[in-house]
Amino acid sequence: MNEIANMVKTPEELMKILKAAAMGDLCFSHILEFIKPGMTELAVADEIERTLRKLGAQALSFPTICVSGVNTTKPHGEPSEKRIEEGDLVTMDFGAVADGYCGDMTRTIGIGHLDEEQKKVYDVVLRAQTAGLAACKAGVSCKAVDDVCRGIIADAGYGEYFVHGTGHGVGKEVHETPVLNAKSDDVLAEYMPVTVEPGIYIPEKFGVRIEDLVVVTDFGIINAVHSPKELIVV
Ligand SMILES: [Mn+2]
């Protein structure tokens, strides 16, 4: 098991993580106004990074992901010169560093119009993510949280397409312990910041991921991310 002292954060550290997350929310609301069909993934990724820096980010938690259409099938795809088109899903995964601590959030949105399968998969990921958040509480095993997300996605028939773990701790580094996956023996404790980020990636079609960064407490979570999660089509 990983060292609990490294996973539980002080109030001062948690405030810095909340601040980084707040920058992410402001950035996302700007991007919803900014993003238009015809823009390249790289142009939108650049705008995300420019906006985070303008908000006061001292650095980025990791290179921004902005992928669209078939590129959303790669969970950690890099933004390309591909233009964002009507009918695309767009997945944006990004984070600001505030006072040395990382933010991390992901939202997937639609452009113009979406088909029934895209909407259905979005709904499954959202239900898995919501249930995963509801399962997080001090004393609960990280594997149990992963099981909750994985179970909902498997029951919907997409189990083979959830190809990564459910989440991770966050701090000075964007990927810290605990690890929320099927093999983890970590247990959640009060004041651990963790992400919950299930996804479904259907080869040659599209992918969806939704990620929040939350602080675990004895009664549940305090969600540091407030951006909407109902399906947004711009
Ligand atoms: Mn993450």
Q: How far is the CA of 57 from the centre of ligand 1 (A)?
A: 17
Q: How far is the CA of 168 from the centre of ligand 1 (A)?
A: 7
Q: How far is the CA of 219 from the centre of ligand 1 (A)?
A: 23
CA distance 142 to 134: 13
Map out the domains of the chain as residue ranges.
4-221
pLDDT tens string 170-190: 999 999 999 999 999 999 999
β-strand partners of 108: 91
Ligand 1 ion: Cβ-proximal residues, 5 Å cutoff: 104, 195
Which pTM value belongs to this model? 0.98
Tokens for 105, please give them.
């959030």
Q: How far is the CA of 94 from the centre of ligand 1 (A)?
A: 8
CA distance 186 to 204: 35
225 pLDDT above the threshold of 70: yes
Sheet (strand 96-98) strand order: 59-60, 96-98, 101-102
Count Cβ neighbours within 10 Å for each residue of 164-184 and write b for 16 or more, e otherwise: ebbbbbbbeebebbbbbbeeb
Q: How far is the CA of 197 from the centre of ligand 1 (A)?
A: 7
Residue 25 half-sphere exposure, CB side, CA atoms within 13 Å?
15
pLDDT tens string 79-131: 999 999 999 999 999 999 999 999 999 999 999 999 999 999 999 999 999 99
- 4-221: CATH number: 3.90.230.10
Tokens for 164, please give them.
């990564």
DSSP 3-state assignment of 6?
helix
Q: How far is the CA of 101 from the centre of ligand 1 (A)?
A: 14
